[in-house]
Amino acid sequence: MSPTLNQVTGPAYTRIYSYGAARGENAVPNDDLIGPIDSSDEWIRQRTGIVTRVRADKGTDAIDLATVAAAEAIEKSGISADQVDLVIVATISNPKQSPSVSAIVADRVGANPAAAYDINAACAGYAYAVTQADALIRSGAARYALVIGTEKLSDIVDPADRSISFLLGDGAGAALIGPSDTPGIAPAVWGSDGSKADAVGMNGTLTEFRDGEVPWPTLRQEGQTVFRWAVWEMAKVAREALDRAGVEPTDIAAFIPHQANMRIIDEFAKQLKLPESTVIARDIETTGNTSAASIPLASHRLMAEHPELSGGLALQIGFGAGLVFAAQVVVLP
């Protein structure tokens, strides 16, 4: 007779306990970037809503930013670092192919030997990581998870590229997730459309760069393609996320979309028919587009400026390169 394997189950519900953040040390106004792209401050503001963005010092990398954000999230959570048994980092700007950012950060913040891995889902990465942390905790595979989105996009941008260079910033946002007595993270709507993978992504491979076939690979995008996809398709995803959560737009206290473009954010809110009382994250104005870090950074700022939102519902949606996406409703810590 074969032995019976042990299996575990976890808590019924999870929630976000706290946020942490780190932004690049330098504020970079539009006027500092307009020369190489033959543009103007007015043009950038009108097209994107960005007034300035943050970029990190040369000696600061995505791992450093993630460490600062993670340490703050742990400190605010009331959970000791040695209780964190899972670290998930979303990033497209790990300075090395290996080792993972997550394993290094786990060690730096005192969570060693937590399970640790990185994911690459671009601007949807943080929402992907929250979805995974929720599922792993409820399965019993982990108890407390540290979820981090971190990017140093200034390392992978061409200053002369008019399609994306002026959008990007550097930073990291973190969330501490753990068990809850009541539902705190609703089911996610997530997926991808790889048929449009060329719409936004890197313009070369590392092997091509090694072999001298291309210059240092940088991020590029087809702006109109991405804009149309984000506005029309992602509004549908956001509405489906509300349905899966069992709530109405009028129940949403905060809307925290990926900070890609202010015009996209405004159109989202319009299509979702969010009430005037809903607070909309607009961190992009002074932080820029930080890809996987943008939702947790925006969440961190929103809670600092609006502490009365604590306990309210937030709709968050990430979307980006590879045309991956994820949306979910969460209870704000």
Kindly list the catalytic residues.
Answer: 123, 258, 289
Compute CA distances 312 → 190, 274, 330, whole Å. Answer: 22, 15, 8
Read off the tokens for 59. 């000696």
Q: Are 93 and 59 in contact (CB under 8 A)?
A: no
Supply the Cα-derived Rg of the chain in whole angstroms: 19
Q: How far apart are CA 126 and CA 112, in angstroms?
A: 21
Q: Are 332 and 314 in contact (CB under 8 A)?
A: yes
What backbone torsions phi and psi does residue 4 show, to the nearest 5 degrees?
Answer: -95, 130
Paired residues of 13 in beta bridges: 180
Name which of 73, 139, 82, 71 is nearest 105 in CA terms. Answer: 71
Sheet containing strand 279-280, strands side by side? 189-192, 324-331, 313-320, 252-257, 279-280
Q: At what angle do helices 125-139 and 294-305 cross, to 10 degrees?
A: 80
